[in-house]
């Protein structure tokens, strides 16, 4: 249970970092550059990463798959911010479906 708590804290931390890059853009930040390029670029990256997850899942390279899953998760977090949705809202939908 403690590890699950730590993992959820990291997701909240990541969400805060993305939020800060949105509110305080930096020329050195990849996240800020995505926001600057707009929603079309963000959804393109989500799509690319989703395809890369599917391709990696067909192979037996767990490390590659984990990397692609991490990339997809990160880009989803950026998309959530771009659409003004908190990750907790997604979790609530999953929780409601579970019941």
pLDDT at 45 over 80: yes
Closest CA to 12 of 96, 95, 82, 80: 80
pLDDT at 1 over 70: no
User: pTM for the full model?
Assistant: 0.90
Per the model's pLDDT, the better-predicted residue between 10 and 1 turns out to be 10
Asked: is 2-98 a CATH 1.10.287.1080 domain? The reply is: yes
Task: Please state, in angstroms and rounded to a whole number, the distance separating the CA atoms of residues 77 and 53.
Answer: 16
Between 11-15, 43-47, 60-64, 75-79, the lowest mean confidence (pLDDT) is in 11-15
Helices (H), the chain: 2-23, 30-37, 39-57, 62-82, 87-98
pLDDT at 6 over 80: no
Task: Please state, in angstroms and rounded to a whole number, the distance separating the CA atoms of residues 35 and 21.
Answer: 8
Domain boundaries, the chain: 2-98
Q: What is the pLDDT of residues 22-39, one digit of tens each?
A: 999 999 999 999 999 999
Task: Please state, in angstroms and rounded to a whole number, the distance separating the CA atoms of residues 26 and 4.
Answer: 32
Identify the band that residue 4 occupies on the pLDDT scale cut at 50, 70 and 90: low
């Amino acid at each position: 249970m403690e590890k699950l708590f730590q993992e959820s804290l990291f997701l909240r931390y990541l969400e805060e970092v993305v939020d800060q890059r949105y509110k305080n853009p930096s020329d050195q930040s990849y996240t800020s550059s995505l926001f600057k390029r707009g929603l079309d670029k963000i959804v393109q990256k989500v799509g690319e990463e989703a395809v890369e997850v599917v391709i990696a899942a067909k192979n037996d390279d767990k490390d590659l798959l984990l990397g692609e899953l991490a990339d997809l998760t990160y880009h989803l977090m950026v998309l959530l911010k771009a659409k003004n949705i908190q990750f907790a809202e997604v979790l609530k939908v999953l929780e409601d479906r579970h019941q």
